[in-house]
């Protein structure tokens, strides 16, 4: 999307102003049982009428409970009922039990929901989860490529379909709310969350906000600016992390983003305008700061710009213990953190454990008139609006009718297509020699080597089963490693030898036609994944050198960002950036062997040395190893061009 369309979107939102509504003073709380005849229970009533009716019946304690989001661990039905908890989440790796199946997830969510429905007013809770590349907390779910690879595809329709597939798998487990998409503009690959960013370029990220329509459904023209969730197979989405999270100094997570107005509103903000146009239900505040002001306490940007100027009517949610980080050290003055975040415009607080301190602290601040009741009513109005839009009041409980959608073949086929389109061919042949790719399927003997060639956990990266990711293949009964994909692709007569870490002497004893070397980064997520050197972990470099100096070799690099590769580039015959492809390794093999051609173009600049960072296209003295938009192409040797329809 260019600047002209961006301006039109901006003008659209400037005409929409958020209305702050509140309960009328003096309204008495209705008696238990009267809720059955209340207007808020009537789906024929307009949403705003239902909100006002319910808000007028709520006590301060019930309102504050709606603003609290707790982690499912150690949460009980009594806590939900006694504190009127409005939302629950699963953090990374938090599941009903180890290797939980889909039925276990449904049962858990329904048990919590039943507790919420037994409260005085029967307000359903909303359950949220980080489904950032598929339903990645759930065993055997379809794991799509991370955003860093999807940006390469330049295919918003594909990403929209991925959103729809993800929504269906999330809903199958009884969950109506996904903390996705991440629309950060990663300007420095040293950031450990860079793989959650589609691109360094805001135009690509704006295009990829089409995923919101996949997650939530396509917004009606008269609903722009409103939270919008269409039907039982869609989820409420969450654009994150507002705003500037990808521009921190040295790519350090939760750090300060130093930016002028042109950079903030011209680079980091545009994708949020697109997200609002698509009716995104919620927005998550960033841990990071803008010019020294913590986003969780930034009233100008949370309330002044997002709510008042742009007219956003959904709710703003904090990040995990996000309000704690307002002070340093974290949680050192929690009363101030509550006050600063709520007054700034945070509506729902991801506590996630310390609920009594938050709830009691917020109630006390309201009673002391430090936080006005109008601010509480605004927050609860927004939360209720999303709950009504999601259909929770009409359908709070779920059944097993969608469980066969989790990891279904249709979704895996879509993921395989996404893998193919996300691959970038960076090198294909040495000077004066013919291209190496596509590889012949009928070779006599080939070697598949490397730490990442037979490891689904490494293929998927962070935010898979666990927060920081996992290693190995035992966590899923589904999915295909790159090794197994190669074995399934080559001729039956071709001998495939696998070695995780072959030494120099190994090649002297064997005669291979060629080698496919698959190495890269080990899984990580934010903070732990921050890196100032961006090197390939050992033994990756040695495997490249040993194989590529001995025989013809193709290197497939698994990583969440560009890494240091220049020292080894000359030894390689071909180099493929596969990013973090997810569960469907067959998509890599499809392109290596020519069933499909390479089409991907870099959505990130590939640096030569880390001391060049940050470096993005358009910068002065731009001197990359591979520039933004680079990608060699090959033609398929066979035709497989059918699109996957959802």
For the annotated catalytic residues, the residue numbers are: 319, 526
Using CB atoms within 10 Å of the CB of residue 433, give its burial: 0 to 12 exposed, 13 to 18 middle, 19+ buried. exposed
From residue 164, alpha-carbon distances to 189, 236, 439, 445, 552 in Å are 29, 12, 34, 42, 41
Query: How far, in Å, CA of 556 to CA of 336, rounded?
Result: 50
User: Which residues have a Cβ under 8 Å from the Cβ of 174 and sit 6 or more positions away?
Assistant: 105, 106, 108, 109, 110, 127, 398
**Backbone dihedral angles phi then psi of residue 183, each to the nearest 5 degrees:** -115, 30
The structure tokens listed for 476 are 């899923």
The CA-CA-CA angle for residues 1, 283, 372, to 5°, reads 135
Contact 452, 482 (CB under 8 A): yes
Among 567, 556, 483, 550, CA closest to 514? 550
Question: Residues, the chain, total?
Answer: 646
Q: Is the CB of residue 441 less than 8 Å from the CB of residue 507?
A: no
Structure tokens at 502: 């072959």
Compute the distance between CA of residue 126 and CA of residue 128 in angstroms, rounded to an integer.
Answer: 7
Task: Count CB-CB contacts under 10 A for residue 623.
Answer: 12
Taking residue 472's Cβ as centre, other Cβ atoms within 10 Å add up to 11
Cα dihedral 130, 136, 139, 141 sign: positive
DSSP 269-321: SHHHHHHHHTT--EEEEPSSEETTEEGGG-HIIIIIIIIIIS---SEEE--TT
Helices 355-367/334-344 angle, 10° precision:
70
Beta bridge partners, 174, equal none
Are the CB atoms for 31 and 40 separated by under 8 Å?
no
Instruction: Give the other-Cβ count within 10 Å of 609's Cβ.
Output: 14
User: Which H/E stretch holds residue 256?
Assistant: strand 256-257
Which is nearest to 450 in space by CA: 383, 384, 382, 506? 506
What span, in angstroms and rounded, lies between the C-alpha atoms of 618 and 20? 42
* Helix/strand/coil (H/E/C) assignment for every residue in 435-456: CCCCCCCCCCEEEEECCCCCCH
DSSP β-ladder status, 574-579 and 424-428:
antiparallel
């Amino acid at each position: 999307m260019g600047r002209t369309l961006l301006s039109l979107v901006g003008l659209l939102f400037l005409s929409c102003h958020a209305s702050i509504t509140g309960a009328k003073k003096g309204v008495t709380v209705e008696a238990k049982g009267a809720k059955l005849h209340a207007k808020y229970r009537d789906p024929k009533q307009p949403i705003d009428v239902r909100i006002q009716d319910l808000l007028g019946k709520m006590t301060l304690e019930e309102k504050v409970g709606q603003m609290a989001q707790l982690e499912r661990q150690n949460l009980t039905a009594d806590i939900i009922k006694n504190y009127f908890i409005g939302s629950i989440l699963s953090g990374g790796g938090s599941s009903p039990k180890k290797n939980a199946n889909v039925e276990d997830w449904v049962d858990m969510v329904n048990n919590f929901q039943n507790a919420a429905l037994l409260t005085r007013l029967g307000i359903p809770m909303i359950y949220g989860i980080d489904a950032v590349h598929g339903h990645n907390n759930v065993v055997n779910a379809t794991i799509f490529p991370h955003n860093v690879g999807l940006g390469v595809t330049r295919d918003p329709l594909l990403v929209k379909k991925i959103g729809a597939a993800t929504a269906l798998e999330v809903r199958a487990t009884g969950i109506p709310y996904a903390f996705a998409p991440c629309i950060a503009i990663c300007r420095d690959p040293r950031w450990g969350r860079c793989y959650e960013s589609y691109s360094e370029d805001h135009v690509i990220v704006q295009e990829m906000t089409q995923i919101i329509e996949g997650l939530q459904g396509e917004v009606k023209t008269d609903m722009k600016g409103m939270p919008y969730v269409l039907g039982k197979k869609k989820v409420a989405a969450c654009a994150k992390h507002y705003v500037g999270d990808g521009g921190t100094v040295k790519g350090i997570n939760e750090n300060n983003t130093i930016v002028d107005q042109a950079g903030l509103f011209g680079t980091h903000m545009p994708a949020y305008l697109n997200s609002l146009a698509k009716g995104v239900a919620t927005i998550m505040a960033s841990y990071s700061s803008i010019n020294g002001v913590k986003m969780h306490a930034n009233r100008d940007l949370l309330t002044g710009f997002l709510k008042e100027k742009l007219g956003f009517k959904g709710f703003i949610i904090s990040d995990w213990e996000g309000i704690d980080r307002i002070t340093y050290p974290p949680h050192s003055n929690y009363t101030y953190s509550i006050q600063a975040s709520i007054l700034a415009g945070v509506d729902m607080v991801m506590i996630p454990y310390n609920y009594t301190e938050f709830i009691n602290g917020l109630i006390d601040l309201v009673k002391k008139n430090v936080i006005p009741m109008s601010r509480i009513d605004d927050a609860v109005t927004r939360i209720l609006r999303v709950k009504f839009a999601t259909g929770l009041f009409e359908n709070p409980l779920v059944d097993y009718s969608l469980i066969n959608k989790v990891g279904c073949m249709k979704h895996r086929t879509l993921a395989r297509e996404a893998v193919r389109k996300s691959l970038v061919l960076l090198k294909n042949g040495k000077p004066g020699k013919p291209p190496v790719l596509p590889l012949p399927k009928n070779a006599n003997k080939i070697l598949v080597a490397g730490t990442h060639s037979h490891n689904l956990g490494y293929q998927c990266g962070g935010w898979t089963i666990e927060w920081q990711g996992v290693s190995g293949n035992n966590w899923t009964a589904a999915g295909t490693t790159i090794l197994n994909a190669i074995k399934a692709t080559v001729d039956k007569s071709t001998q495939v030898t696998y070695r995780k870490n072959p030494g120099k002497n190994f090649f002297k004893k064997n005669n291979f036609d060629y080698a496919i070397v698959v190495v890269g980064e080990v899984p990580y997520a934010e903070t732990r994944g921050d890196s100032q050197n961006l090197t390939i972990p050992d033994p990756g470099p040695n495997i490249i050198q040993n194989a590529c100096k001995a025989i013809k070799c193709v290197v497939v690099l698994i990583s969440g960002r560009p890494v240091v590769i220049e020292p080894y580039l000359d030894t390689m015959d071909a180099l493929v950036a596969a990013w973090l492809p997810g569960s469907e390794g067959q998509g890599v093999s499809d392109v290596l062997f020519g069933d499909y051609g390479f089409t991907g173009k870099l959505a990130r600049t590939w640096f030569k040395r880390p001391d060049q960072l940050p470096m993005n296209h358009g910068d002065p003295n731009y001197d990359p190893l591979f520039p933004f938009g680079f990608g060699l192409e090959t033609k398929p040797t066979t035709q497989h061009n059918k699109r996957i329809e959802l």
